[in-house]
Amino acid sequence: MSKLPADEPEPPQRDSRRYPIGAEIIGDAASFRLWAPSRTGVELLLEDGTALPMRGEANGYFRLDVQGLPADTRYKFRLEGIDAPAPDPASRFQPEGPDGWSSLVDPFKYRWRDLAWKGLGPHEQILYEIHMGTFTPAGTYRAAMEKLPALQDIGVTCLEIMPLNEFRGSFGWGYDGILPFAPSHLYGEPDDLRALIDAAHACGIGVILDVVYNHFGVGDRYRDFSADYFTDRYSNDWGSSINFDGPGSAGVREFVSANARYWIDEFHFDGLRLDATQALNDASHEHIIAAVAREARSGAGDRAVYLVAENEPQETRLVRPASAGGYDIDALWNDDFHHSAMVALTGRREAYYHDHSGTAQEFVSAAKYGYLFQGQRYDWQKASRGQPAIGLPATSFIHFLQNHDQIANSGTGGRLHQLGSPARARALTALLLLGPQTPLLFQGQEFGASTPFHYFADHPDDLARDVRQGRVAFLRQFPSLANPAFAERMPEPSAKATFEACKLDWSERENNRQFVELHCDLIALRRACRAITHCAQGQVDGSVMTRSMFLLRYFADEPDDQRLLIVNLGSDAPLTTSADPLLAPPAGRQWTLEWSSEDFSYGGSGVRPVDMHSRMTISANCALFFRPEKKERLPIPDHDELLSWQEAIGRGR
């Protein structure tokens, strides 16, 4: 494990608040600040029973500074007119869960060793999504640290961690968080999370956090502080919509944008992944997404920050600069690539796969343009979908074959290699990792994990029944899952056994070396090929060779840096000639096979001889990667040989 300089500067002296809300240590005092415009009085309640009145400030804020309170002091707020004391909405830690006492945290107690770390930009990233509770058997920050060298070995550059905010229950995906500033006590203490990020940086791996700003989970108490947290002017699939543009929204906007800055600042996260941004409804002059991006970047100081978003309607304004009316996000998840790949792998076009056919044209278009739907009709929704993306760099899109949602939505929680032909899965993996867009892997994908990833959420009985029924209803959009037999067999989301079944079995990493080697070799090829990692607009082109076979051509200033990728997702395909200039090698060179997905070391059936000078066959379900080699072009045969050859062609041979 490479080490960054172990500088340990003294904690900075602080004489003023750094954030508008929450508890902070300032010199010898603890400063508490709360937004509660619905209340005329608020008391700070300490665990020993001490109650201290807070001073009202402008715009609905209350503040109290108390001398001599040490870190780890437990506290709540007693709101005028509300019997039950409430935890701090901006609590930095909840040692006993979301209903327990909030804990006063001193973030400067941790001595960072990553002072030479420069952050992450959009180029040259290999993302790796994890769920903290199932990534290791122990499911903790400290246990995750032990796996960092394994990720470093395969070439991962950035962890994307599913939400860590405090939520109800003993297990869950984290998207129903209640207290967005508090890292979940289920995985360890705040300094354990800091240590994980510090260790990741020492391995050359950045870390971004999945955050949810479109709703709060069941059991929140925000209305006790202010009804202005929510609005009924917009609908939301998961709960009450958050008020970003109505009366009283200023405090809400400050709460959310401060949260984005906090994760970057106090935990040294390298960026954020914003969940379901289509549900962040905001008609303000500065959209809340743009405000979040601005605050996140301000929290990084001189470090680069990498911001990613999920957006189902495929609105490309998110990744355009503010000067062009955009929101300054770096990259968007691209469901189109996933959907085309799954149809190519399984042949099934159910539900939201309906508009994708998995054909060669879709993969060429995705490589060149990112989104496939950029404003044209989308039959599944009986409407137009998407915004123009032509002209955006390849790094504006994140491509994946697996993620938490899509695995769970299979109904069985099955992984890529379990859903279709192993050879075709290898070819699609090559397309993912040798394609121009930023690739994302899901935990265990690199070693062919057999463990499923189901939807799980620990809820009490009544809510658990509602969640199960909602999950069954959602999956009924797939005709193959609409049968009542599936509802009976679907793993119970609220059962601990469902959660436990999703924990990775790391012994598979040693037993499935062919998967590990496949991913290691492909990532190494990618990182060595500047034409891919720095693919500028117009430097990748592609052609459809058959309905199931296509090529991608990577151009570069230097001829030796150019590359050719051929992917065949169908049966054996003869290649005799092709009236396509994209197959032509750079001047003075010929294409030489550099890599094949059918190599025996990956579990393949063997590599056919490949000679671009001759007639050849591209094997079924394979990917071939070519580099240019200085070599003279094949001369035309002498007269007699050429005549014989042409006569044979005339006879249909």
Q: Of 198, 210, 254, 310, which is the active-site residue? A: 310
CB-CB neighbours of 138 under 10 Å? 14
Q: Which residues have C-beta within 8 Å of that of residue 575, sequence separation ≥ 6?
A: 545, 615, 616, 617, 618
The values of phi and psi at residue 618, to 5°, are: -85, 120
Query: Does residue 413 contact residue 605 with C-beta atoms inside 8 Å?
Result: no
For the CA atoms of 200, 206, 210, 211, the dihedral, rounded to the nearest 10 degrees, stands at 100
Task: Render 148-204 in DSSP notation, one character per residue.
Answer: HHHHHHHT--EEEEPP-EE-SSS-B-STT-SEEEEE-GGG--HHHHHHHHHHHHHTT
3-class state of residue 453 by DSSP: coil
Return d(Cα 34, Cα 75) in angstroms, integer. 13
Return d(Cα 610, Cα 536) in angstroms, integer. 29
From 180, 185, 192, 190, select the one nearest 170 (Cα to Cα). Answer: 185
Burial of 608 (0-12, 13-18, 19+ CB in 10 A): middle
Annotated catalytic, 106? no
Q: Of 114, 270, 275, 336, which is the active-site residue? A: 275
**Residue corresponding to tokens 């870390």:** 207
Query: Does residue 402 contact residue 445 with C-beta atoms inside 8 Å?
Result: yes
For strand 206-211 and strand 438-442, is the pairing parallel, antiparallel, or unpaired?
unpaired
The upper half-sphere exposure of residue 325, i.e. CA atoms within 13 Å in the direction of its Cβ, equals 3
Return d(Cα 274, Cα 15) in angstroms, integer. 33
Instruction: Return the sign of the alpha-carbon dihedral for residues 348, 472, 279, 178.
Output: negative
Q: Which residues have C-beta within 8 Å of that of residue 68, sequence separation ≥ 6?
A: 28, 29
CB-CB neighbours of 93 under 10 Å? 23
Query: Does residue 165 contact residue 532 with C-beta atoms inside 8 Å?
Result: no
Task: Render 370-410 in DSSP notation, one character per residue.
Answer: S-S-SSSEEGGGTEE-----TT--GGGEEEES--HHHHHTT
Task: Render 541-577 in DSSP notation, one character per residue.
Answer: EEEESSSSEEEEEE--SSGGG-EEEEEE-SS-EEES-
Reading phi first (left if > 0) and then psi (alpha if -120 to 50, else beta), residue 118 is in alpha
Query: Does residue 336 contact residue 372 with C-beta atoms inside 8 Å?
Result: yes
Chain Cα centroid distance, residue 531: 24
Return d(Cα 378, Cα 100) in angstroms, integer. 47
Return d(Cα 590, Cα 372) in angstroms, integer. 33
3-class state of residue 532 by DSSP: helix
Annotated catalytic, 83? no
**Residue corresponding to tokens 């290999």:** 126
Whole-number CA gyration radius for the chain: 27
Q: Distances from the Cα of 437 to the Cαs of 20, 125, 331, 432, 584, in angstroms?
A: 38, 10, 10, 8, 24
Annotated catalytic sites, by residue? 275, 310
